[in-house]
Structures are given as C-alpha cells and as structure tokens.
Amino acid sequence: MINLLLFPILLPFFFAIILMFFPKKRFTQRIITIVGLLSTLIAATILLITVKTNGIQAITLGSWPAPFGISMVSDMLSVLLVLSSTLITLIVVWYSFTSIGKAREENFYYPGVLFMLTGVNGAFTTGDIFNMFVFFEVLLMASYLLIVLGGEKVQLRESIKYILVNIISSALFVVTVAYLYSVVGTLNMADISVKISQLGQPGIITVIAVLFLIVFGLKGAIFPLYFWLPSTYAAPPIPVLALFGALLTKVGVYAIMRTYTLFFTLDQSFTHELLMIISILTIIAGCIGALAYFDVKKIIIYNIIIAVGVILFGASQMNEASLMGSIFYLIHDILIKGALFLLIGVIIAITGTSNLKKMGGLIKYYPMLGWTYLVAAFGLAGIPPLSGFVGKLLIIQGGFEAGNLWGGIVILASSLVVLLSVMRIFIYAFWGEPVEITPLTKRHYRGLFTPAVILVGISVLYGAGSEWLVPYMSDAADVMLNPSQYIQAVLGGA
C-alpha cells in the first residue's frame, strides 16, 4: 500500500468534508468526528509500524519522478509527531463534548478541528518546502476559525493580532522560499539538501537559513518573536487552547528542526550557534513569564515558550544524544501540555476564574484532580520516572558533550523555575483556605476529568516506558543526523 503515509492526512480531511453537510446535527457530528479520529489514529499506528520495519516511506504524488512532483516523506520523526498529534486531538475532542457548548458545536467547530489536524499532519509529512507552506496555511486558516469561533470580545481582539502576525510571517515564508528557489532552483526538500551541499552553503544560503529561523520562529514562538503568543492563546476556550498549545508551536519547532538538520548543515558555527543563543534566550524569557503571572492559563502558556527553547537547544547541538533528547522532549511536551491545559480547564470550570489568588482548598472536594495535577506538574518539570525526564537528560548530556556547559546549566535551572511555576498553581488552588465554589454536576465533572486523566496516564506511560521507546527515537535522530538516508528515500539511488 504505497499511499499509506497519506492516510493520516486524508482521513481527517475526508471526515471534515462530511461534517460540513450537516452542521446542526450535534450528535452525528460528534460520532463522525470520533470515528474519523480513531481511524486516523489506526492509520498512523500502522504507518509507525511500517516505518519501523521498512524504513522511511516516501511517495511522489501523481507518479511524477522525484524532484518534479510533490514528495511526501514519512520518517520516524514525522510519523511519531503525526501519531501524537492525532492522539491529542482525539482526547481534546472528547473533552470538547462537555466543555465547548452547543453554539460552537453547531457552527463548524468539529470540521475546524479536523481541518487543523489535516494541516498539522500534512506539515509533518511533506517533503516539499512550498507544500509545507500550503499545509501551514491549512492549519492556520482552521486555527483562525477556532480562535474566533464564539465571537467574544477578547476573542475578536486577539484573533486580529493572531491573524496579523501569521499573515506577515506567511508572507515572509513565501519570500524566503522565493529566495531559496532562486538560489537552488528546486522546492523538493531532499533535492534542496543535495543542491545546498553541492554549493557548499555560500553566504546567501546562510541568510536564507536565518530568514527561515525568523519565519518558523514566528510560528513557533522563539525569543524575540513570541510576543503575540501569551495573550492570543489565552483568548479561545480551553479545548482550543489545549490544541494550540500542544500542536501549533510544535509545527514551527518541527520545521526549524527539519530545515536545520536537512538543509543548513555546512555553516553550523553561525546558524546553529545563533539557534542555540536564541533558544537559551527563549527559555529565559519563558521563565520570567511563567513566574510573573497569577493567571493559570498564562503560567502554562509561558511554559510552552520554555519548552520550545529547550527543544531547540537540543536541536542546535547536532549530536546524537541531544537530537534524540529533542525528539523525546517534543513528544512529551505535546502530551503534557495537552494534559495540563485540560486539567487547568477543569480547575477553571470548578472555580469559575483563572486567577490563582481567588482559588483555594480544592483538594478537599476534588482530591483526584489535585493528585493528577501534581503528577502532570512533576512530569512537566522532569522528575525521573515521569515523561519529561529522559528528554531533558539527553538534551543536557548532548549540550555538555558539545561543550556548551552554560546552556545545559540554564536548562537545569529552567526546570526548577518550571517546577516552581506549576507548583504555585498546586499550592494556591489546591491547598489553603477553601473558597466558595459552584460544584459541577457529577456528569459534567466526569466528562471533563476523564479525558484529562487518560492523557496524564499516557504521559506517565510514555515516561515509564522510555526504554521501550528508545529504538524509535534513535531511528528518528539517526535520520536527522544523516540526511543522506532521507535524500536516498526520496530521490532513489542518486
């Protein structure tokens, strides 16, 4: 089945189209969405097994020979990301059943989510730089819908900011692709890689590398370009926030990792040094934000920025340990950010506020919620048996191996800040004097809490079973370290 790698893109697309026929039938919509996501999950799992046993899967659409048609490439990194994105979407959709509300469900909420997943999976799978732009637009258009759907005042204000920033960065993306095309004359990513190594990365390619860093940095929120993210992400309802927080910035991070390991490998003393400095600044900026706020949403949102910094620091080191750590941490972060947003969504639903100072004593009424949150918080900070540990350990090991002592130390220190910031939520919301709350009905609470707890469970398994995951991660890191495998899979023996 040579088209297998396209199924995680086509299935959500197909089901999203089906959903457009009857927007008002809420229950049919829910059932079809779940069916669609489950089948996508199955397809992604089969794809993972295929990639593991048979190596990188590549196909060039329309039966054209490789550099001329659009290539789709599924290596271990992309298939792992596709699988975890689909998983997170499935759980967030389940959570949405209770939390998103009738009005949004009847106005294309589920098609929006599925179209976004189409874009995300497509951006992870594509092997063509302009096609990547198109998939970026697919996911961004869907995210514009999701961020503004509901039409509250704050959503309208923030969606203007969000759309403006993304239009500018997309225009810059086009310009950058145009520069690259004018230098190398091809859009196929494997072919670009070959052409750049033939050229020996002259100065103009380094300029393009920096432009790509700016473009993907705007999407993925790195240090000077993250300014739009905190207030924008705080606007939409919790399930949308969870999707955005778990997936959207990760697409930008993936794109940086892909371009910096596949294209721009010859002038590392400049490009990767720059990436490293920026990632460390990103971590510091995120840490400051995470400590500065008393708003639970803002605290977790700044933790996204910290994670972006940590992953990119790993990617900038370019040795096996750090790249493997980056991939470990990337998947961990998708899972744990989703889980944390869903959990604080439950807290906000119970207390009716996102202000920490107005909360207290929740552990008395909701002990399970409290302990689940604590596990998720420890997972985020990277306490050993949990999911954040292995990734960060490998990233720091990679940093030390590459001789960047200070970078490693900043990451270690940032873990403390992360722990402090999420523990503050635990201390303020769950301990202390109980405040007036409006208890949720049992059914409502269960509808919100069950998906969140399952996601935390998955992230715990991910941490506990990391030994079992190592072969997958090392396969993924291997392709990034040796782009020749990728090129060979796309272009054949050439």
Partner 1 sequence: MKTNDVILQTATKIIFFIIFLFSIHIFFAGHYTPGGGFVGGLLTASGIVLLLLAFDLKTVMTSLPINYTVMTAIGLLLALATAAGSIVFNVPFFTHAFDYFELPLLGKQSLHTAMLFDTGVYLVVVGVTMTIIQTIGADD
Chain positions 4 to 23 lying near partner 1, rule: CB under 8 A, are 6, 10, 13-14, 17-18, 20-21, 23
Among 37, 56, 59, 359, binds partner 1 (CB under 8 A): 59
Q: Which is nearer to partner 1, 114 or 455 (CB)?
A: 114
Q: Residue 309 in contact with residue 225, Cβ under 8 Å?
A: no
To 10 degrees, the CA torsion angle through 464, 117, 216, 305? -50
- Closest CB to partner 1 among 17 and 35? 17
**Using the rule CB under 8 A, which residue among 60, 131, 326, 421 binds partner 1?**
60
Is the dihedral angle over the CA atoms 66, 10, 485, 188 positive or is it negative?
A: positive
Kindly state the smallest distance separating residue 6's Cβ from partner 1, in Å. Answer: 5
- CA-to-CA distance for 365 and 347, rounded, in angstroms? 12
Residue closer to partner 1 by CB (options 5, 299) is 5
- 258, two tokens: 């892909």
What is d(CA 306, CA 280) in angstroms, rounded to the nearest whole number?
Answer: 9
Sequence-distant (≥ 6) Cβ neighbours of residue 384 within 8 angstroms: none
User: Does position 62 bind partner 1 by CB under 8 A?
Assistant: yes
Nearer to partner 1, 18 or 470 (CB): 18
Q: Name the one range near partner 1 by CB under 8 A: 39-47, 56-64, 280-288, 415-423.
A: 56-64
How far CA 419 is from CA of 29, 195, 305, in Å, comes to 39, 45, 15
Residues 461-490: x where in contact with partner 1 by CB under 8 A, - otherwise, as a string: ------------------------------
Report d(CA 110, CA 283) in Å as an integer: 34
Tell me which DSSP letter residue 107 carries: T
Residue 196 amino acid letter: I
Give start and end residues of each alpha helix (H) in 386-465.
388-401, 405-425, 442-464
Angle between helices 249-262 and 483-491 (to 10 degrees): 90
Regarding 144 and contact with partner 1 (CB under 8 A), the answer is no
Question: What φ, ψ does residue 438 adopt, rounded to 5°?
Answer: -100, 105
The nearest distance, CB 395 to partner 1, in angstroms, is: 37
Binding residue count for partner 1, defined by CB under 8 A: 18
Q: Which two tokens stand for residue 354?
A: 């996102």
Q: Which of 63, 198, 269, 441 binds partner 1 (CB under 8 A)?
A: 63
Q: CB 23 → partner 1: shortest distance, Å?
A: 8
Residue 24 engages partner 1 in binding (rule: CB under 8 A): no
> By CB under 8 A, what part of segment 188-217 binds partner 1?
none
- Encoded one letter per residue, x for contact with partner 1 by CB under 8 A and - for no contact, window 436-465 reads ------------------------------
Residues 6+ apart with CB under 8 A from 484: none
Q: What are phi and psi of 39, to 5 degrees?
A: -65, -35
Smallest distance from partner 1 to CB 20, Å: 4
User: Which C-beta is closer to partner 1: that of 6 or that of 117?
Assistant: 6
Q: Which is nearer to partner 1, 14 or 400 (CB)?
A: 14
Contacting positions for partner 1 (CB under 8 A): 1-3, 6, 10, 13-14, 17-18, 20-21, 23, 59-63, 69
